[in-house]
Amino acid sequence: APNFHYLLAEKALVDLLRNSYQPFDSPALAQLRADISHLATIPELKNTPIVQQVLAVDALTQGRIDEAHRAIDLGIELQMSWLNYVLLGKVYEMQGQNHLAADSYITAFNLRPGEDTLHWITNGVFQTSLTNVVPYLNNYQRQ
């Protein structure tokens, strides 16, 4: 049977990322906030990697960097995924620690090499310059 609770969390993550690209109008943003609050009430999702990703992206987009860092650290403890390392890199960038951001982005790329991962490093949550933060990955961009 499909895990509908997990799908709710995936949808919240996608909506958060969409909102970071193109901000939602007030009703859509209110619905997103309600969806995120609802996730916290679902016992099956407590301390799952997807919820930690949602919490990290939500905190990042609101400038709550320490909260984002705590969420993504727990997410990495639960699951060593490429997306978790992209989000950790974003946290480090916001903290002004580009050397640690570069390490995180390279780890993400090593876990899932390819254009898709480079796209998320460059465009996920906010724009990141490969040239300024992690020039090593410029070698892997399609010309």
What DSSP line would sit under the chain, residue for residue? Answer: ---HHHHHHHHHHHHHHHHHHSPPPHHHHHHHHHHHHHHTT-GGGTT-HHHHHHHHHHHHHTT-HHHHHHHHHHHHHH---HHHHHHHHHHHHHTT-HHHHHHHHHHHHHHS-SHHHHHHHHHSSS---HHHH-GGGGGGS--
8 and 42 belong to one structural domain? yes
Across all residues in the chain, what is the average pLDDT? 94
Section 50-58 average pLDDT: 96
pLDDT given for residue 142 in this prediction:
64
Is 70 exceeded by the pLDDT of residue 110? Answer: yes
Average confidence (pLDDT) over 96-109: 97
pLDDT score recorded for residue 139: 85
63 and 87, same domain (yes or no): no
Q: Confidence class of residue 138 from pLDDT cuts 50, 70 and 90?
A: confident
| Residue 59 lies in domain | 1-79
Number of structural domains found in the chain: 2
Give the mean pLDDT of 4-24: 93
Residues 90 and 71 in one domain: no
